[in-house]
Amino acid sequence: MSVSAPFQLAVVIPAFNEAPWIRTCLDAVAASGGPARAQVIVVANGCTDDTAEIARSRTPGFAARNWQLNVLELTQGSKIAALNAADAIVQAPVRAYLDADVVVDEGVLGQLTEELRGTRPAYASGTLQIAEPASAVSRAYRRIYRQVPFIARGVPGCGLFAVNEAGRARWGDWPQIISDDTFARLNFTGDERSVVPGRYHWPLVEGWRALVKVRRRQNVGVDEISRKFPQLAANDDKPSLGLGQKLAMALRDPLGFAVYGGVSLATRLGGETGWSRGR
């Protein structure tokens, strides 16, 4: 997958009815620093709100720093279709995939561009910060979730991940799957993944029901990839949470552990398995 490269970085932002969040997301991208030339692509897919109009209103801010903002509109409400539409017009050797409700700190996009400058296939993300939720249940869940080894020490890439041109060449179009971030991560070995120090802020959904819905969707998405792409299993180096760690967490924070464990149990009991962001 070779691209002509008038830009050093492309930032792909799929957006489905993201009017409350897209302005903050784009303003943070515009203020984040980074390469002299970058291409930002917002794909409003199946929106019934003014996501696209709000995104276009941020064009002057990007033009002022010599960055290009493209806003595409698709009638189909599909994140996978949005990713494929954006990838079709990328003109940069490094591309970052960013959720529309994520806020990046200054420096992270520039660091990702530098980290992925080489010709060997590579994947990188920023330093994950889980935003403080409003609801007591989600705050309790967050206290434990942020200690899980995969989140605390891995390269989870939830909300933001980036690949270089050689890495993106490992697959063609995005397949019809639920968990695009898991699919991308598992196309790389642990040695090919890295974290840059720049931070980004990823929101946790609010409330018990939303937590269960999203956790269930995540599990279904991971199972789907295992079933459809078994060859990627060799790259799944996610560390498990040992019994000793669980006991220590439960002793330090009984309420948080009860909420986290309760969500895990409710997830396994079954229910709806369709797409949901829990809002």
- At 221-269, the pLDDT tens digits run 999 999 999 999 999 998 888 899 999 999 999 999 999 999 999 998 8
- At 63-103, the pLDDT tens digits run 999 999 999 999 999 999 999 999 999 999 999 999 999 99
- Tell me the CA distances in angstroms from 66 to 12, 63, 69, 262, one per residue in order: 17, 5, 10, 49
- At 5-30, the pLDDT tens digits run 799 999 999 999 999 999 999 999 99
- At 126-158, the pLDDT tens digits run 999 999 999 999 999 999 999 999 999 999 999
DSSP 106-157: TTHHHHHHHHT-SSS--EEEEEEEEPPPSSHHHHHHHHHHTTSHHHHHS---
Write down the pLDDT at residue 269.
Answer: 85
For residues 30-59, give the mean pLDDT. 96
CATH topology (fold) of 9-268 = Spore Coat Polysaccharide Biosynthesis Protein SpsA; Chain A (3.90.550)
* Whether 113 contacts 9, CB under 8 Å: yes
| Domain residue spans of the chain | 9-268
* Whether 40 contacts 67, CB under 8 Å: yes
d(CA 67, CA 30): 8
Write down the pLDDT at residue 3.
Answer: 54
For residues 156-181, give the mean pLDDT. 97
